[in-house]
A and B are shown apart, each in its own frame.
Chain A
Amino acid sequence: MPKLSLWRSVIHLEPAEWDILIVSTCLKLLLFPAYRSTDFEVHRNWLSITHSLPISKWYYDTTSEWTLDYPPFFAYFEKLMSIPAYFIDPRIVDLNNLNYAAWSVVAYQRTTVILTELVLGAAVLRFIRGATDPTTQRIISASLFLHPGFLIIDHIHFQYNGFMFGILLWSILMARNDNKLASGFLFAVLLNFKHIYMYLAPAYFIYLLRSFCLSPSGALLPARFIALANAVILVFLVSLGPFLLMGQLPQLLSRLFPFTRGLNHAYWAPNAWALVTAADRVLLKCKSALGSLAVNSSGVASTSRGLVGDTVFAVIPNVKPIHTFIITIAFQAIYLVKLWRTPTYKSFLTALTLCGYTSFMFGWHVHEKAILLVLVPLSLLAAENHAYFRTFLLASVAGIFSLFPLLFTAPETLIKVIYSVTWAIFIFIPLHRRVYEFPRSLPFVIIDGLEKLYLAGFILLQAFVTFFPVATRQSSASLEFLPLMLTSVYCSVGLVWAFLRLSVLYLRG
């Protein structure tokens, strides 16, 4: 496609699209003074590292505790952003000006999030053009651009997920448009922005190998293979090359992969391990009631706090990183075999989602923010049929709710709830109308009812989480983490169920 018309199609927006862009931007502007996590200072520190230090010191600097631990493209990206920052307020990029929180830096960094998120906006717009069902795709695209996950994590908590998921969606779009070389190239770029996308890499690898590098009969197409390999190697060279030359690769990798963390994050991400940990708690209660002695005493202390550091189980055998690794690979292998056999775009999309999902479910030290790796590709499948839609619904509701604890301050509570509810109404209702099917047999009716019951339970859960701290102001601190634990367990039930649903749908389909 000629470059000019590409740009025109990106810039040319329909009135409804302008509405979404302008209204959402105004809302994001209003959120400038909202709560921001330490990630805000992390990124400010990276601006100052990349601005004040030569490239050779980027991955060695320890002035702030928030050392640079993203791949080089992100560092280059920060370097780029530090240039205007310097002209706006030189104090922003002052390395020793830790925890700088003047209005200039808040407004600047928040603005960069809004602007870079336009990459996401452009990608989802391009999904509409050339979609088989543009009206449905329009709803899905709007749902992605307005996703509460991005509002919570990027515009309040502070990160650049919108930008990076924008690159991911461009890459997926290229796969849909049968431009697989560009797809692989963009994914390689993405990996060099943030290495968490490695969770999705197996699906990309199998898909590109099978459908791009091999002919349908299974013969290798050398020209394509070499082109793809060159593209990917080129990207990695641009990214890692300077550090390779300086012999800093081991240092860089040690920053990127710190293997010193526990099974669960501070607040348990709502995955399989959250359920296992919860089961351990319950078993512990049972055992101590029965007076049994076979209890790991360090585990009793560990998870009663349910918090930072290593999780040690009291009853259930302890889980080691290698275990989580094996389980993840085993599950992914199942989907990848299926992908190898049916290397279509839709199959790729589902396998991609499931790869991310598996990593989220069974990974070591998973962070709750990683749920976006599941929700974003899953959104593209939302309108396949009613079964997919229901999976999307359950995963989205549970996944977005599981992000709520990120914003624990009172003023933001109302924002996240109102925004998510409004988003849900705008997205779920029209999609539901498009794909609705009546449950066909008794088991399906029962499952349907249970799922609805589960979804309704979130209202009670939110009420509990809101009012529990008020009601127990004076009582013991041991109950302090009960709302968090309950949120985690309740969300993980839904997410595990949606995971099973999606797996069955994919493997049977």
Chain B
Amino acid sequence: MHKHGMKSWVVPCAVLGSVGAKWAVGLSSYSGQGTPPMYGDYEAQRHWMELTIHLPVREWYKYDLQYWGLDYPPLTAYVSWLCGVVGSWINPAWFALDASRGIESEGSKVYMRTTVLILDTLVYLPALLLFVRAWHANRSFRTQETALLTLLLQPALLVVDFGHFQYNSVMLGLTLLALNCFATGRDLLGAFFFVLSLGFKQMALYYAPAIGSYLLGKCLYLGSVHGPRHFVNLAVVTGLTTLVLFLPFLPPLAPLAAILDPITRIFPFNRGLFEDKVANFWCASDVLIKWRRRLGPKALVRLATALTVLGFLPGAAGLLYSGWRLNPQPVTVDSMKGDKDTGDVRKAAVREPAPIMALLPYALLTSSMSFFLFSFQVHEKTILLPLMPLTLLLSGAGEGSETREVGALASNVAMFSMWPLLQRDGLGVPYVALTVLWNRLLGYNPFRIPSKSYLQYLALGVHSTCVLLHILEALFTPPARYPDLFPVLNVLVSTPVFGLVWLWSVRRGVEAGWALGGLGSKSASTPKPAKIEVNGYDDAATASNKQSIGREAGARAISLGYAQGRRRHGHRNDSISSVLSGVN
């Protein structure tokens, strides 16, 4: 493309092409199509649009709970309401109360698919574009474009959102917007976006330990004066946003007890340990240890919670510890005298990303993968959450790097782990097409002869097993004694890979933390030299035109955080930049 002078067209074409691909996936059937009386996730989302436009807000979380009662946080409800209002304006029959249950007209399907596409384009797409500009700012255009394509066409997200039918990209997009804000030093806006993400789908909680730790770590990094102040600001923004989201369920608009309706619906601890077959620790080990026979439901909840906390602890602790460790020496009376503008520098640092930013993607992966593997009531689709930070890391990884190997393997296995679900939904062809397409765009061939590392042998082995299982499943029906033979084998193949990814993310997190300044004592230098850099970039950003602001801000995000780190620990700068880009 570059050869033919089409440089400026690559991004528009990539975006256009991805929109086309997403829509093409939507031509297929959706979850629960033609399966009365309950249908599937598609009907759930449609039903929420139906009930929100016809009922008063306080009834939303109470109406006929047996038939797809609303069990997502309020932002989903508000968005459903908006979709429902617009849809009813086009054709009231699509969302007639009760009468429209299980409606399967062509027009209604097109409308529902359109809402996913529009929300995806409004939230997730800008988040990705900003991400590529902000995080890969100092990489070549070609790398940025490949990264964008890798992210745009992530097959697991496409097949779940546009095939199976869900709005995960909104939740992921809001989280990603939050990350972009953190990377450009706009923590308050970032916190706002993350609360929105949580308010859209409670699954975003999987990221909460990492994001909370980053913000807290930054407060530690900022020191005793600006740290607490920043903390209070963040708390106020977070609290206010949550308050506004739940406003209709709070006094004076509703009695205090009303808030319990959404809360009990959103966090259902009365369901089982896991549903169907899901490639996590509980389901996989259940083959050997019949957990539910050995332990009561309460003990299981406790055990699951404990394991989950243990699982995300390394990532969260790494962020907090590094933040504390990188905090320059407390501003003493002496230094105040000698160094007048130190206070200003610290103040400016509030508006910069903290150097621990480099740890954040790994911590997000550790935390969300830990939730996926160990927490209570996980669905197979939830693998999308760990996949997001992994794809972010993968997007900038160089050819043949470890990150790339792990990322591509995990993404393909994630697709594979959803196969039983996709097969039920009639999404076999998109499953194959999207996986092949994405691997090709990535330039990844799972079946090439391994040359470098044990990881490549592992990838070859896993991919071959997946293909073999598909072939066996196509050729043989499982024996009557084990009707779930293939789903169980699927779980047994997928879970170890996800476990390895979790371990890998812990390891990389530790490495990245080490690269930021060793595990030794606290740093003693001042961040003064960075100040010059800051100003330089700020001026450039204000002076340049609109388009380059994004780039400059991005350059800031990377160059700043890491320039500071580099200045302090010059001898490690190679590993610092490679930590972020994943080239190793």
Contact = CB atoms under 8 A, between A and B. Distances in A.
B440 A23 contact: yes
A26 B9 CA distance: 22
A32 interface: yes
B21 interface: yes
B24 A31 contact: yes
Contacts of A33: 27-29, 429
A278 B164 CA distance: 47
B110 A410 contact: yes
A18 B443 CA distance: 11
Given A32-B429, A411-B26, A415-B24, A26 B434 contact: yes
A430 B27 contact: no
B433 A26 contact: yes
A29 interface: yes
A425 B441 CA distance: 19
A237 B19 CA distance: 50
Contacts of A31: 24, 27
B110 A30 contact: no
Contact of B21 (A18, A27, A34, A412): A27
A412 B29 CA distance: 15
A107 B429 CA distance: 9
A180 to B, nearest CB: 34
B20 A422 contact: yes
B436 interface: yes
Contacts of A30: 21, 24-25, 27-28, 429-430, 433-434
A414 interface: yes
A500 interface: no
B244 interface: no
B113 interface: yes
Nearest to A426: B13
A457 to B, nearest CB: 21
A418 B436 contact: no
B4 interface: yes
B20 A419 contact: yes
Nearest to B441: A23
Interface string A8-23: 0000000000110011
Contacts of B430: 29-30
B20 A415 contact: yes
Contacts of B16: 418, 421-422
Nearest to B117: A414
A433 interface: yes
A23 B437 CA distance: 6
A418 B429 contact: no
A360 to B, nearest CB: 29
Contacts, number: 88
Given A409-B106, A411-B110, A425-B13, A26 B20 contact: no
A476 B107 CA distance: 21
Interface residues of A, number: 30
A418 B19 contact: yes
A322 interface: no
A426 B20 CA distance: 15
A426 B6 CA distance: 8
A139 interface: yes
A29 B441 CA distance: 16
Contacts of B23: 411, 414-415, 418
A471 interface: no
A290 interface: no
Interface string B26-54: 11110000000000000000000000000
Contacts of A27: 20-21, 24, 433, 437
B56 interface: no
A29 B431 CA distance: 10
A460 interface: no
A31 B433 CA distance: 10
Interface in A97-142: 103, 107, 139
A258 to B, nearest CB: 33
B5 interface: yes
Contacts of A459: none
B110 A26 contact: no
A26 B434 CA distance: 7
B436 A22 contact: yes
B450 interface: no
B7 to A, nearest CB: 11
Nearest to A421: B16
Interface string B427-449: 00110111011001100000000
A223 interface: no
A19 B441 CA distance: 8
Contacts of A414: 20, 23
B29 A430 contact: no
Contacts of B6: 425-426, 429-430
Contacts of A32: 28, 429
Q: Most B CB atoms within 10 A — which of A22, A30, A31, A33?
A: A30
Contacts of B20: 27, 414-415, 418-419, 422
Contacts of B17: 418, 422
A430 B440 contact: no
A26 B437 contact: yes
Contacts of A19: 440
A34 B26 CA distance: 10
Contacts of B433: 26-27, 29-30
A29 B432 contact: yes
Interface of A: 18-19, 22-23, 26-27, 29-34, 103, 107, 139, 409-412, 414-415, 418-419, 421-422, 425-426, 429-430, 433
29 contacts: A18-B440, A19-B440, A22-B437, A29-B429, A29-B430, A30-B24, A30-B28, A31-B24, A32-B28, A33-B27, A33-B28, A409-B106, A410-B106, A410-B110, A414-B20, A414-B23, A415-B20, A415-B23, A415-B24, A415-B27, A418-B16, A418-B20, A418-B23, A419-B20, A422-B17, A425-B12, A425-B13, A429-B4, A430-B6
Nearest 8 pairs of A and B residues by beta carbon? A430-B4, A418-B20, A30-B24, A26-B437, A29-B433, A26-B433, A22-B440, A410-B110
Given A26-B436, A30-B433, 9 more contacts: A27-B20, A30-B25, A32-B28, A33-B429, A412-B27, A418-B16, A418-B17, A429-B4, A430-B5
